[in-house]
Amino acid sequence: MGRFDGSVALVTGASRGIGLGIAQRLVDEGARVCVTARNPDALDAAVAQLGGPEHAMAVAGKADDLGHQRDTVARIVEAFGSLDLLVNNAGINPAYGPLMRLDLEAARKIVEVNCIAALAWVQQGYAAWLGEHGGAIVNVASIAGLKPAPGIAFYGASKAMLVHLTQELAVELGPTIRVNAVAPAVVKTAFATALYEGREEQVAATYPLKRLGEPQDVAGAVAYLLSSDAAWVTGQTIVIDGGLTMTGGV
């Protein structure tokens, strides 16, 4: 028996990397999972990796598209019969450099995908199932949202907003829906490649645990927060960083 037997989960931004790692962990523990992302081919591969249609389904679309959100949630409930768990993992960071040179259209898009879309997914899930039946939500933030992060400052600001949004949702949606977040440091994914490619050993040396994160490191914490093991935990952000923030790093 798995912790999530009989549960249905939605994981956004889950065709690869952290999102796929989370989806895999939930499937391994008994859940049926819907994964979303923009690339249909990558999603098909993800569903196959997760065990096929018996265990997973996919809906392709942009994370910040309201029509996609509504359609996805409706299809999940129709196919699997419920929507008990939601993981807001989709995120973007199309800008690197000082804030004084930040393109404001890029800034707006970052907030749209990283923050407003997360709230929208919660609203859709709440209306379709969670509001009446309860459940659990986890938002994937970043340690960049906990302290200044030069070079990715606005991305960090958006993640700080997501952390605060997590707290606000936890207050509003309790007691039947728990809302928490995780804040990873650098995890070895395609999304974070620019932060360590060609210098992984050097970057890892700044971490007390002397390695970068892997998707399963985040997946384990997310699974805990979604499970009944965390039944008295809400509004919290778990830092998953190999000890980096204790050394003053981001």
Predicted local confidence at residue 135, as pLDDT: 98
Residue 175 exposed, middle or buried by CB count within 10 Å (0-12, 13-18, 19+): exposed
Mean pLDDT split into 10-residue runs, the chain, 250 residues? 95 98 98 98 98 98 98 98 98 96 98 98 98 98 96 97 98 98 94 83 94 97 98 98 89
Q: In what order do the strands lie in the sheet with 177-184?
A: 56-60, 32-37, 8-11, 85-88, 135-140, 177-184, 237-240
Predicted local confidence at residue 78, as pLDDT: 98
- Dihedrals phi, psi of 125, to nearest 5 degrees: -65, -40
* Number of residues written out for the chain: 250
Predicted local confidence at residue 17, as pLDDT: 96
Predicted local confidence at residue 194, as pLDDT: 78
Predicted local confidence at residue 77, as pLDDT: 98
d(C-alpha 131, C-alpha 138), whole Å = 16
Predicted local confidence at residue 102, as pLDDT: 98
Question: Would you kindly state where each structural domain of the chain is located, as residue ranges?
Answer: 8-247
Predicted local confidence at residue 24, as pLDDT: 98
Provide the annotated active-site residues: 155
Would you say 32 and 108 are in contact if contact means Cβ atoms under 8 Å apart? no
Question: Measuring CA to CA, how many Å separate 151 from each of 132, 173, 249?
Answer: 42, 35, 13
What are 205's two structure tokens? 């040396």
Cβ-count burial 187-204 (b if 16+ within 10 Å, e if not): bbbebbeebbeeeeeebb
Which pLDDT tens digit goes with each residue over 83-109? 999 999 999 999 999 999 999 999 999
Chain position carrying tokens 């995890």:
187
Predicted local confidence at residue 198, as pLDDT: 84
CATH of domain 8-247: 3.40.50.720
